[in-house]
């Protein structure tokens, strides 16, 4: 659906439909044809777009995982964290932010470090 030729076909179809209006006296059936066609195509496009986004996301994750694997100082435990729960990912992100800021000693002692969160994931 994302190709220029598909767009041209859809545009042409809409023009043909609009021009045919006077021949069908702008009847309810005439209107129903375009409404049904656009509804069905929109419904199918949702699944097509979601599939495309899923493939794209998986490819990006694989590329990021390869970068993590290739860098000497990177923590390999980050590979695959996209499979963790939202709560676990938020905890890791918060720990990373604390780590970057240098963290305040009282908060750092109460909260788990990035390494602790990643180690818990591995076990």
- Reported as a single tens digit per residue, the pLDDT across 23-32 is 999 999 999 9
What digits encode the pLDDT tens for the residues 7-22?
999 999 999 999 999 9
Please indicate, yes or no, whether residues 19 and 69 belong to a single structural domain of this protein: yes
**Considering its fold, how many domains does the chain have in total?**
2
Please indicate, yes or no, whether residues 85 and 123 belong to a single structural domain of this protein: yes
**Of 38, 54, 74, which residue constitutes the final position of a domain?**
74
Please indicate, yes or no, whether residues 69 and 56 belong to a single structural domain of this protein: yes
Backbone torsions φ then ψ of 79, nearest 5 degrees: -60, 125
Please indicate, yes or no, whether residues 63 and 111 belong to a single structural domain of this protein: no
Please indicate, yes or no, whether residues 57 and 87 belong to a single structural domain of this protein: no
Q: Is the pTM of this model over 0.95?
A: no
CB-based burial label for 95 (10 Å; 0-12, 13-18, 19+): buried
pLDDT value at 103 more than 80: no
Please indicate, yes or no, whether residues 60 and 82 belong to a single structural domain of this protein: no
- Cα 99 to Cα 97: distance, rounded to the nearest angstrom: 5
Please indicate, yes or no, whether residues 54 and 87 belong to a single structural domain of this protein: no
- Cα 82 to Cα 14: distance, rounded to the nearest angstrom: 42
Cα–Cα distance list, 1 to 8, 10, 34, 52, 61 (Å): 11, 10, 17, 11, 25
Percent share of the chain, pLDDT over 90: 66
In the block, which residue shows the tokens 């990006």? 60
Q: DSSP secondary-structure letter at 82?
A: G
Please indicate, yes or no, whether residues 86 and 120 belong to a single structural domain of this protein: yes
- Cα 33 to Cα 35: distance, rounded to the nearest angstrom: 6
Domain that holds residue 46: 1-74
Q: Would you state the structure tokens that stand for residue 69, as one six-digit string?
A: 């694997």
Q: Which residues contact 24 (CB under 8 A, 6 or more apart)?
A: 30
**Of 59, 74, 89, which residue constitutes the final position of a domain?**
74
């Amino acid at each position: 659906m994302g190709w220029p030729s598909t767009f041209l076909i859809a545009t042409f179809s809409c023009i043909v439909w609009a021009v045919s209006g006077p021949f069908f006296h702008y009847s309810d059936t005439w209107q129903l044809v375009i409404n049904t066609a656009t509804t069905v195509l929109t419904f199918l496009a949702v699944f097509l777009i979601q599939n495309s986004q899923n493939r794209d996301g998986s490819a990006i994750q694989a590329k990021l995982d390869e970068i993590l694997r290739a860098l000497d100082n990177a923590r390999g435990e980050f590979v695959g964290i996209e499979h963790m729960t939202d709560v676990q990912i938020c905890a890791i992100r918060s720990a990373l932010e604390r780590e970057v800021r240098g963290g305040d000693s009282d908060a750092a002692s109460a909260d788990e470090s990035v390494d602790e969160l990643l180690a818990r994931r591995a076990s």
